Every structure is written in C-alpha cells, then in structure tokens.
Structure 1
Amino acid sequence: MQKRFYSLDVFRGATVALMILVNNPGSWSNLYAPLAHANWHGCTPTDLVFPFFLFAVGNALSFVMPRLEAAGTSAFLKKVFTRSFLIFLIGFFLNWSPFVRWDNDQLVFKAWEYAGANGTIIGIRILGVLQRIALCYLFASLIIYFFKIRGAFVTAVVLLLAYWMLCLFLGNPADPYSLNGYFGVPIDKAILGESHMYHGEGVAFDPEGISSTLTSIVQVIFGYFVGFYIQQKGKNFEMLAHLLIAGCILVFTGYAWDMVFPINKKIWTSSYVLYTTGLAILVLSFCIFLIEFREAKGAWSRFFDVFGKNALFIFFLSGFLPRVIALFRWVDHTNEDGKKVYTSALPWFYQHVCKPVSDNLKNGSLLYALCMIGFYWLIVYFMDKKKIYIKV
C-alpha cells in the first residue's frame, strides 16, 4: 500500500488558501506588492500560486497513476478525458456565470457576445484557470502514461526549449517577449476571437492562452516526478536532501535562463517554469521536514488540510459566489451627477467594515481578503466534518 504524505495535502491546501487570498482583495487598487502580480517580467509571491497548484496536480497524479495503469489503457483514457472535459466545462461555466447581468436597471441574459458601454463587443471568455488545469492535466497524464518517466522527462525538456525558440523566432524581433511582440497573441486572436479573450491588460491578451499552455504542462510533469520520487525513496533524509538540491538547482537554472528568456508568468516562460518549480520543491521540502520528520502538526496544518480536500470545489465557489451575490444590489447613494450608485453585500462589507479600520487602504483591502479566506474555510471545514468531498 502506498504511504500517504500528509505534507503534500497541506501544501496543496495552503496553495488554495493563497489563491483565494490573492483573488479576493477588497480593492484591486490597494494591494501590498507581494499580493499583486508582476506587471510583466518578474515574479512576486502571487505569481507562485498558479504554478504551485499545477505542481500539486502533478503530485496527486503520481499517487493515482498506478491505479490508472492497472485499469488498462481504455479505462485510463476514459477517466482522464472525462475528468479533463468536466474541469474545462466547469471553468467555462464559471466564466459565463451567473448568465445574467445588470444593464442599467434591468437584468438581461449574458449573451455569447454583446455591445459594451463604449460600443466595443464583449464576449464570454473561453479560457481561464480551470481550463488550463484541465488541459495540463490531460496532456501531462497522456505523456506520462505513454512515454513513462524517461520519455516524459525528454518531452518536458523539448517543450521548454521549443517554446523558447517559438517565442524568439516567431515573435517580434524588436522585443519577442513583450506584450505586443509575443507570438501567442495572434494565435489566440485567430482561434478564440478578441472578444472571447482576457482584456485585463487593456488589450486582447490571454494569460491562460493556447501557446503558453505548452510550458504549463511541464509544471504538472515536474510535480509528478517529485511525487513519484518521494514514494520511491520513502521518508528519509536522503530523499529530503535530494529534493533540496533539486530545488536549488532549478531555482538557479531559472535565474540563469532569465538573463536571455525573462521569467514571466503571463506568457509562462520556460525560465518561469524552472524557477517556480524549484521554489515549489523547496517549500514542499520544508513542509515534509516540518510535518513528516518533526511531526509538527496541529491547528495550522489542519487549517490548510481542509482546503486541500475540496480544492477545485472551493476555488470554483470563491469565483462563483461573489458573482451571484452581486446580482442582489441596492442603491448606496446618488453621485454628484444625480446618478444612482449601486452596491451589494460584499462591496458593502468592504466599504463599511474593512475599509474604515485603517487610514492605509491596503490594510482594509487585506482584511477583506482574510475575511474571505475565513468564510470559505468555514465552508470546507463543515464539509470535512460531514465527510463531504466533491471530486471531479
């Protein structure tokens, strides 16, 4: 029987908790620097959340792969394709939800495409976080199943190098790693359509785009390697030492590659994969040492553990629930132009409870995010007590 490492569950749960923290500030205009993404090149603690989660997906895959292999190729393909499709569909559902929107004072159906306030065409975004998780899980599973460990390693190296070459030679020669020079933008526009892409950068650009999915697949593969190695070596200091060395080597290699291929989350560069994987291994090593070797378990580990037991569900809920609550709004005040300004429960809570706690607006924004973590923790804690685990 496989030995379960509790530290892996805590690592995954802590990643989910941090994901909720950075995705739910009281105000996007008032963030402490570590809780904001890098503007373009570079890496903040917030930029570690998504690759850490993909790394954790690979860890989990290493524990279930033996059962999938034992079931046979047909059963494996059915399981992997079904799960990937469902996760992708849930992510797409989240993007479209709650299917209605306020248009002046009327609720109208959120159409596939519709005219925005300034006349631009707005559409439902096709890709997103869950969709990337689905695609990475699918392709990483197929690569590992059919190519085995050695073949998966070679494939990972080829993907990282090939992506570098694609960026360098297909991008704008003046600056191939810039927003305007990145080769993946025209591909996304041609396949997805501008109205169905992310516009958070002020233009049509998708940080979970088609091209950058190539390297994010490697994040899952590396997570699988680490999970597989931990199981093979067992709980001993040799295993821990090797993980620490591997983590340091990857961080150093990522930094070195950064000099010619900048660390960048938004286009998920190869240097970013190595750097964040290295950091994930180091953090996981610390968790293993603390929990498995020192047995320093307690309230702190249980706090994160319950997030990990319903990881995808609570991530979905943290994105879905605020959108539904926002439909129930009321007039907060009338501005100088005589126009009604509406609010709903969560913005009201931030404005009237969290924001006034400090003259520094970043403190109020952080307090709101912490309250959201507490709120969602109560949900997963209750689910854990009732042994309710929603799996896909």
Structure 2
Amino acid sequence: MTDFPIPFEDDDLFASAGLRLTVDLTALTENWRDMARRSGAARASAVVKADAYGMGIEDAGEALYMAGARDFFVATVDEGVTLRLYAPEARIFVLSGIWPGTERRFFENDLVPVISSDEQLAFWMAVLADYGDYPCALHVDTGFNRLGLGMNDAIALADDVSRPASFAPVLVMSHLACGDDPAHTMNKRQLESFRRVSAAYEGIDASLAASAGIFLGEDYHFDLTRPGIALYGGEAVNDLANPMRPVATAEARIIQVRTVQAGETVGYGRALQLRRESRLAIASAGYADGYMRSQSSGGVPLRQAVPQGGQGFIAGQKVPIAGRITMDLTIFDITDLPENAVRAGDYVELFGKNVPVDDVARAAGTIGYEILTSMGLRHERRYVAEE
C-alpha cells in the first residue's frame, strides 16, 4: 500500500487506453456520398456487416443513415436487429438468409432475408404459407460458386405461375468474383449472365456491384449498388490509386523504450540481429488485437517472399517493426528518430492517415478487409465528426 494520497478522477478511457481506435464519421459519410455519386442513376446502399467492418455498427450505421442511406446489408440477423435501432426507416437485407427459429426476429424487426439456396427457398415458401406476404431478396449465382440459386432455377422461378402469390421478391442480386481486377474477362461473363436474370425479374430492383463493381462503370450498376470496403477507406480495385478517405486510425501505447547494443537479437526466435546500437519502442499491440504476426520483420515465412515487414508511424516518421509480433506486444525500431522523440506513454499509429490500412495488409500478406475486421476487443473507440 502507498503512504500518499492518490487523487481519483473520472477516467478518460480513450486518453488512457493501451489501444485506441479513432473512427472519422465524416470521412465515412463522405465516402458513402462519393460512392453514391459514382453509382450514377443507381441508389447506393451501405454494407455494414462484420460490425461495420470493425468500426462499430451502431455509430457507423447511424451516421450512414443520417447521411441518407436507406438500404443496408448485414450478414446476420443479430446485426440486423442491432442496426434497426439506428436506422428506423431503412430497408435492411440479411445476407445469410432466414433459418428455422429466426422468423420472429425477422418479422419483429422488419428485416429482409436474402434467399440463397434451394433449402432456404423451400423453407421461405413454407413461412409465407403461415405468415402471408413478406418481402425477400434472391441471391443468384452467376459464376462465383459461393452462395446463390442456380441461374436456370432462378429464371424458371420467375416464370413459375404456380408459385405462391405471397412470394414477392423486392431485389434480385449477384456478386462479382473478380471485380477488383477490371480487365478480367470474368466480369463481362457475369454481367451478361446477370442481365438474363434481371430481365426475368423485370420491375424488381437488381444489384450486382459491390465497391469494386461500382468502379467498373454504369453497365454494372443496375438499380442498387452495395459499397462496403470503400466506405471504410479501403482499396477496392487492384493497382488503382485509392480515392477514398481513411476512416480508421489505430494506435498503441509505447510501454517502454530501450537501447540495445549491436550484435544482440530481438524477440522470439532471435528473429532479428541488430547491426548497430538501436533504440527500440515496445508497443501494446499484438496479434490478439488483429495486428498480424505475418507482418513481422523476420522469423515468419512471408518475409521470404516479401522482404519488408510492417511499419508504424510516430514522431512524424514511419518506423519498421523489429523482430516478431507477439500476442500483446510489437517492437518498433526508432533508432533513426531524434533522441527523446519517443517516450513511454506516447502512441504509435498502426494504421490510419499516415500508414494506409492496405499497406499494413500487404506487409501481412492479406487484404485491408481482414485487418479492419480482425481488431480485437481491447481497442477503445472514439468517434469524431465535423460539425
């Protein structure tokens, strides 16, 4: 016990957090407006699955709703129930569809199931027989071979005069397999296939383009687009300068700064041997927080293919990761920064305005989607917006 008084004050959780995430809601809504403009005559929805790509479905969903989004896509019924509280008049589509035991939650929260398989379709027909008219969406596979009704089955269903009158889809949709590669021939093949499907469902909204598909041009836009990663500042198209505003900034506190002599090694497996006397900053983030081990500077298989590991940003400069990232800690080499430029308690940017999330992803051998959606529960979040 101490023999001196400790003044207790209301905690500023963000200021004192070991890990913190700043979400720029103005950038988020501006990105949505940008994608809405690029969608031309089509309406732009907002994809907020995976807790709005890690940003927080409550705050992100409400901001997008206030910006004008009226169509939303979530992955699960739980996400839809949460979003309904923040988007009261929106049309909310549940991509995983409806399953026995979830009917009440769909109806009570006015959620629209996306029907993606013969089994779901049969169950949905049985539900309609008991409950009467209720909207749904149909997901049709045009070559992705992931989810979706077969094309021939979907087209036959459109012309099936024996189908129940209460079966009334409000949307028919598909998904591009290679939209992030504008030159890929698969895009045009899927476009032609989807045109056949949408023609069979004349008068019903059609949707093919997610973020990457929007950049492919108006032929791919149909009635409704589905921007996702672009809303959150991520790259949607390969080898194209990213026009989106960064939304998330992740930071970790520096716990310790230490000087290590030339010739000594750093971290697990002695993965890095220092060639000079070095100053190292140990930050409170690791792979348990989604800061992936694969972007370590050494001691991981990926470095054999991509020599450079990840970087952070502190004191106005990018600094390299030193050695292996561990569960809760990452070491950064700050030797090239001025003496005393970094102190214990300072914060290093893991990704954000100075270290694009997709650069972090490339160093980790993955994509920005995975970095954003893999952040653990230890990030204290702050939401900022321009007045």
TM-score relative to the length of structure 1: 0.24
Higher helix share: 1
Higher strand share: 2
Work out which structure has the larger RCO, using CA pairs closer than 8 Å and 6 or more positions apart in sequence. Answer: 1
